[in-house]
Amino acid sequence: MSKPSRIAQAIEGKVEEEVNRLLKYEYIVPSTSTWLNKARLVIKSNGSISLTANFMELNSHVLLDKYSLPDMMEMLYKLNDKIYKTKIDLKDGFYQIPLNPKDRYKTAFGIKNRLFEWTKMPMGFKNSPAVFQRFMDQVLGDEIGKSCFVYVDDILIFGQTERNMMRQ
């Protein structure tokens, strides 16, 4: 598939920390897969590293999950008269969704001569946003539109009064 990713020396330590964190929480495990997706590193605004893979080849073989994401403009319009709002960004949201064990090998990626595969739904997989949106819509159910909106891993809670919002 692809060659293991090269890592700039300046960020090797941060990459190693992130790999260890992902291993600790069992979001990834060592792999012997014959697949190899190129690792993709994103440096966040706070300087931390987010690790995923370029799943372009895998994504080309996967049927698109057509579950719709909410219309951002519609949500903003409905929030217009809400006085109190707060946003929750779910940490490692996608990683709460387990992958089917028989498909994990397809998510393998290499970092410094080591091969790993995802046990949880990774970022970069084309159906991850739709799968997670469906999950969140099911979890929050009837509250969506009444006391909150959800856009993938962001939840916006609102109310007419501070007390009302805090109760939500």
Q: Given this model, what pLDDT does residue 125 score?
A: 95
pLDDT at 46: 83
What percent of the chain has a predicted confidence (pLDDT) above 70? Answer: 90
Top CATH class, 9-167: alpha beta
Amino acid 47: pLDDT = 79
Kindly report the pTM of this predicted structure.
Answer: 0.84
Which of 78-82, 155-159, 163-167 has the largest mean confidence?
A: 155-159
pLDDT of 51 strictly over 80 = yes
Q: Which one, of 116, 134, 15, lies nearest residue 67 by Cα?
A: 134
The one-character DSSP state at 156 is E
Which tokens is 109 given?
């990626």
Element at 132 (helix H, strand E):
helix 128-140
Which pLDDT tens digit goes with each residue over 77-113? 888 887 788 889 999 999 999 999 999 999 999 988 8
Q: Decide if pLDDT at 32 tops 70.
A: yes
Query: How many other CB atoms are found less than 10 A from the CB of residue 149?
Result: 23
Domain ranges of the chain: 9-167
Check if the beta carbon of residue 25 is closer than 8 Å to that of residue 55.
no
57 φ/ψ angles, rounded to the nearest 5 degrees: -65, -50
pLDDT higher than 60, residue 1: no
